[in-house]
Structure 1
Amino acid sequence: MAPPVLQDQTPLPHLPVFLTVRGRVCVLVGGGDAAAPKFELLRRAGAAIRLVGADSGFAETADATGAEILAGPLTADHLAGACLAIDASGDPDTNAHSAALARAAGVPLNVVDRPALCDFILPAILDRSPIVVAISTGGAAPAVAGLIRQELETLIPPGLGRLAALSGTLRDEIRRRIADPARRLAFWRRLYRDGAADRAAALDLLDQVAAARPSAGSLTRITIGRGGEQDLTLRQVAALRRADLLLVGDGVDPAVLDHARRDTPRRPTVRTPAEAAALRDELGRGLQVVQLVAESVPQSTALLAAE
């Protein structure tokens, strides 16, 4: 079934990615207050750090961690085999030199506090490994990103990282015991809500969910008024965040969809008996379905039958 056609949304200033750098060469230019946190970030990510043009004190500390220490200024040879480069020198002439060399070598470059010279940016990070949350303002207001991270620190406890690591050891077992994706999602919701002290406790919870009868799904209808996203209530936003499936009617403000998970499937509203039957089956499997209807667009009779 084709997805609904939506209006263009505000373009992303950057593509959010998590890049594997373990064992790969990453070049860091400069050594000082700006370079220290970048060095530590690369070290924790397992990069093979190539430090260029650092002062003697910083270079001595970096050398103790196994970094490759090279004298500056940066040259094309320094960039050979690198997957990325960061210029933390703080010197405008060095920044411009790094940008020219990196462009010629095809190596993505980040220049600290110079977004116009950056191929990528380093966001504010909340580390609950293996859970990592990155917050970015597209380089426009790094301080704001840092403040958001501080708020999230109170919402995402350190123990959640341990729970995620435990969950990673259970994925194959969960797929073996629970074939239906909706019921697997029910297990993940229970595990996230209730937690588990260890693998045995998590497997006990898995047994409970696998043996239980599927809970009934729900169909929540949200009418979007002329104010679009601005008219959403807190309860409606919560329903969008929980949704396993979105049925999107014509004329719905695209900004409303930003409140749902990005991986939540989106389909047009039900218009045929076959689509209504499929929806009833999905509700029977426990899916949380949200139907979005624009105030000026009438609801279809087929959907009324599905309800």
Structure 2
Amino acid sequence: MFLTVRGRVCVLVGGGDATPPKLELLRRASASIRLVGADPNFAETAAAAGAEILPAPLTAGHLAGACLVIDASGDDRTNARSAALARAAGVPLNVVDRPALCDFILPAILDRSPVVVAVSTGGAAPALAGLIRQELEALIPPGLGRLAALSGTLRGEIRRRIADPARRLAFWRRLYRSGASDRAAALDLLDQVAAERSPTGSLTRITIGPGGEQDLTLRQVAALRRADLLLVEDGGDPAVLDHARRDAPRRGLVRTPAEAAALREELGRGLQVVQLVAEEIRQAMPRLAAE
């Protein structure tokens, strides 16, 4: 979950080594920052960043109108005070390095605005989350943010020109794979897609052996990630479905003529369908599954 804090009051309880990075995090999110108990050596820097500097200790009045509190003091007594006041005020609290006191966790963040990737270990291993973020930085290019911003300006035009959701998704996939970074190139691609006949869908059968997820090949995992619709047998290995998109609908296997006709229609619309069947029942599947 991402919380919008632009222009909203966020209270930062300062004094510890974590105060400067938390202040910078809130500043970059365009929050209205109240810094309580700033180190004197840091107060001038914080004020230059637009923070309101307030004296310690934290009081209920400091929380008026706040949408969240971050305690970066590093002091156990201050942490306990922040927890008590935040609970009483109903304001979500994060206490740095004290997950037991937290209402929310601050993840390691990879910022390619407006694309933001958050990595969290639930507070158990923050250093590991940071290492994962560093690995992702090499995989996600800085220019991805520009492509995402371009997408935001195109959404209305795409919806007007391409009515079918499956074809719109096909357009977005082609746009992102092409790496087009300007509006003219994106609109040229839109003209091509809008003029094309509806793409042909595909039906991929994946037979799940006794090893479940462990038996999946890389090609099968790739098919699961692309799937627009999943046909799933009851009682399958739930870990297999973890490789599929969360927004891809799940349905039972095709067993009636009406269900077969509905599937043909969806394939005609260009949907990528994956059928997951257990090894022992694959011989009993309707003929459609093999077409």
2:8 is the counterpart of 1:24: yes
Deviation at 1:27? Answer: 0.4
More helix by share: 2
Deviations 1:118-142 (A, max 9, x none): 0000001111110001111111111
2:182 is the counterpart of 1:205: no
Within-5 A mapping of 1:1-307:
17-298=1-282, 301-302=285-286, 304=288, 307=291
Deviation at 1:36? Answer: 1.0
Separation in structure 1 between the aligned mates of residue 284 and residue 101 of structure 2, nearest angstrom = 52
| 1:248–1:268 contact (8 Å) kept in structure 2 | yes
What secondary structure, in the 3-state scheme, does the structure 2 residue paired with 1:163 have?
helix
| 2:16–2:74 contact (8 Å) kept in structure 1 | no
Q: Which amino acid aligns with 2:13?
A: V
| 1:26–1:82 contact (8 Å) kept in structure 2 | yes
Separation in structure 1 between the aligned mates of residue 12 and residue 287 of structure 2, nearest angstrom = 58
Change (3 A) 1:101 1:305: closer
Percent of residue pairs bearing the same amino acid type: 86
What secondary structure, in the 3-state scheme, does the structure 1 residue paired with 2:277 have?
strand
Separation in structure 2 between the aligned mates of residue 302 and residue 162 of structure 1, nearest angstrom = 47
Separation in structure 2 between the aligned mates of residue 303 and residue 291 of structure 1, nearest angstrom = 13
TM-score by length of 2: 0.96
Higher RCO structure, 1 or 2 (CA under 8 Å, sep 6+):
1
- Note the residue ranges of structure 1 that are not aligned, 5 or more in a row: 1-16
Deviation at 1:306? Answer: 7.5
Deviation at 1:301? Answer: 4.2
Separation in structure 2 between the aligned mates of residue 216 and residue 100 of structure 1, nearest angstrom = 59
Q: Which amino acid aligns with 1:163?
A: L
Separation in structure 1 between the aligned mates of residue 189 and residue 283 of structure 2, nearest angstrom = 41
**249-258 or 163-172, larger mean C-alpha shift:** 249-258
| 1:84–1:108 contact (8 Å) kept in structure 2 | yes
Deviations 1:175-225 (A, max 9, x none): 111111111111101101002131111100100011112221111111112
Separation in structure 1 between the aligned mates of residue 283 and residue 142 of structure 2, nearest angstrom = 45
Deviation at 1:288? Answer: 0.7
What secondary structure, in the 3-state scheme, does the structure 1 residue paired with 2:242 have?
helix
- Note the residue ranges of structure 2 that are not aligned, 5 or more in a row: none
Separation in structure 2 between the aligned mates of residue 191 and residue 82 of structure 1, nearest angstrom = 40
Give the aligned partner of residue 9 of structure 1.
none
Q: Which amino acid aligns with 1:239?
A: A
| 1:51–1:68 contact (8 Å) kept in structure 2 | yes
| 1:23–1:48 contact (8 Å) kept in structure 2 | yes
Aligned length: 291
Separation in structure 1 between the aligned mates of residue 289 and residue 245 of structure 2, nearest angstrom = 27
Alignment RMSD: 1.4
Separation in structure 1 between the aligned mates of residue 45 and residue 5 of structure 2, nearest angstrom = 21
Deviations 1:217-270 (A, max 9, x none): 111111112221122111111111111111111221111111111111111111
What secondary structure, in the 3-state scheme, does the structure 2 residue paired with 1:281 have?
helix
Separation in structure 2 between the aligned mates of residue 140 and residue 229 of structure 1, nearest angstrom = 26
Separation in structure 2 between the aligned mates of residue 255 and residue 148 of structure 1, nearest angstrom = 22
Q: Structure 1: which 4+ aligned runs deviate by more than 6 Å? A: none
Separation in structure 2 between the aligned mates of residue 258 and residue 238 of structure 1, nearest angstrom = 12
Deviation at 1:26? Answer: 0.4
Separation in structure 2 between the aligned mates of residue 239 and residue 29 of structure 1, nearest angstrom = 48
Deviation at 1:279? Answer: 0.6
| 2:229–2:249 contact (8 Å) kept in structure 1 | yes
**158-167 or 289-298, larger mean C-alpha shift:** 289-298
Deviations 1:57-88 (A, max 9, x none): 21111111221110001111111111100000
